[in-house]
Structure 1
Amino acid sequence: MPLSQHRPALAAILVAVAAVLSALAAFAHASAATTSTNPIVTRALRDLGTYQGECWTWMKQVVQDSTGAKVGFDYRFGYLDAGAVEVALKDAGPGDIIQIANDAWSTADADYDGLHTAIIISVNRDGTFEIIDSNQNWDGMVNLRSGYDPAARAAAKGLNFHVYRFGAGSSSVPAKPIVTVAGPVAAGDLARVNTPGDCLRLRNAPAGTITHCLGHNTQVTVTGASQTVDGVAWVPVSTAAGNGWMAAAFLLKEVPQASAGPSGSGTVTPLLRYRSFVTVASD
């Protein structure tokens, strides 16, 4: 039976209504799944169903709007420079940022298949995530995605992945307190820079040339035995800014915690607190 002149219009209206209801249901699902009033999640959901362009630039805007932090121009150090901490995948929660990239090419000009940024909305029982991201369909649109498995996605492209957290309120998972003690540090120890209001110089050798200056509370890993030069005890360290030497007197030994290590690609390296490089420093 042929349609009347009114039936095509009615069918179009019904399709449009169904699309709106589907979008509202997805939004409600995401809102209900979020167990915390996380500012990053709240801000990200405002853009659901809108055009926002590339995933990386959209995430930076969401983070800046919700926390004030300005992510830099590197897919790894850009987070650390902005004050983010890296968390293990098992500790990830709402508001944390998943970044899939190649650690060997994370600069602003990075461009390869699989490079992607997503914001966690909630954690599923099977260890996957409900996420929100932009440009997942190469259309610049912000959409929800269910059952997101960053480890599998990174492995499929031969890439690395990391999870970053901004601020104490960035997840419903409580952060573990950092416990430090005074005393000598030895090879293998995690340590924290102890220069309140200042930074600690990283040098290329004991009493050598300054390469960077790391801010108070930055985490480093001691990699060898100390050496005394010019009356100062120096220890070799591995840091977010690279390897070098620091004055041992300005390091506090970190008490080991139950969960340590990055979220990434099967290689255990130190948990990176943040990078803060300035021009004045303690020795």
Structure 2
Amino acid sequence: MSLNEWLKGRVIAADAWVRPWAARSRLRAGLYEFLLFGLKQAWACLFGGAMLALLLGTQLFWPESAPIARYDFLVVGALALQVFLLATRLEHKDEAIVIFVFHVVGTVMEVFKTAQGSWIYPEPSLLRIGGVPLFSGFMYACVGSYIARITRLFEVRFQNYPPVWGPWLLAILAYLNFFTHHYLPDIRLGLYALSVLLFWRTWFQFTPDLTPRRMPMLMGALLVSLFIWFAENLGTFANAWIYPSQRHGWSMVPLSKLGAWYLLIMLSFTLVTLVHPPRRPGEGEPTNPLAR
């Protein structure tokens, strides 16, 4: 029995114990659903949360006399974490492929952006490409992992999803604009407008417990962008990377970065559809063990 199967068994057993208590009133049922929502969110953040813990932990406790650089240890730690998740089946193989794609896409952009002075990695390391330590690609992979896992854990389905070519057009243009705006006019305002045009009628359905809930797609993208902005503040506080405004001491990441994260979320979501194609409500087999 894999660790993933064992954990599912424990979840089902715990639910069987708590469910009678939750069924006694609407208030208790609502509280239990809210608890499950939070637990699923935390489980979806497994890879990203572990990486953030590594960043903060090494910033606080990394010894100066360590035989390897802190950044290099983060690369080894991220790889070990990925192997562990796959070996224990806590992560699906197809999701690992998406994470690899995110790593490549993110590293390419990092090499370009650091060369332009958009941000820097201030500590030394051996495992790097140019000015970019290899652990940086895993930070983008955290976003891909979260979206892939949350799509599965919450059985996400879509209403009024646009034609498939639309999100891909937005994703490609958004990725290119991260590069071209250094030399050509910045088209991000047009990209925001295109995202609204594509998704203004789109709602996604998610299931925290047994009852499906829904939310506008654009609102969900904004909320995830805000969540990542908070995580980015922790990452810069941990000196994993710094922006020019933080050279002389840490300060909050400007709120203007939310726009970049919003476009990255649109790109990330589109890449995840390679392994989790958008489905309509009621389509596909359920993945919620509590519903079986």
Q: Same fold (TM over 0.5)?
A: no
Structure with a larger share of its residues in helix: 2
Using the size of structure 2 for normalisation, the TM-score is 0.24
| Structure having the higher Rg | 1
Structure with a larger share of its residues in strand: 1
Using the size of structure 1 for normalisation, the TM-score is 0.25
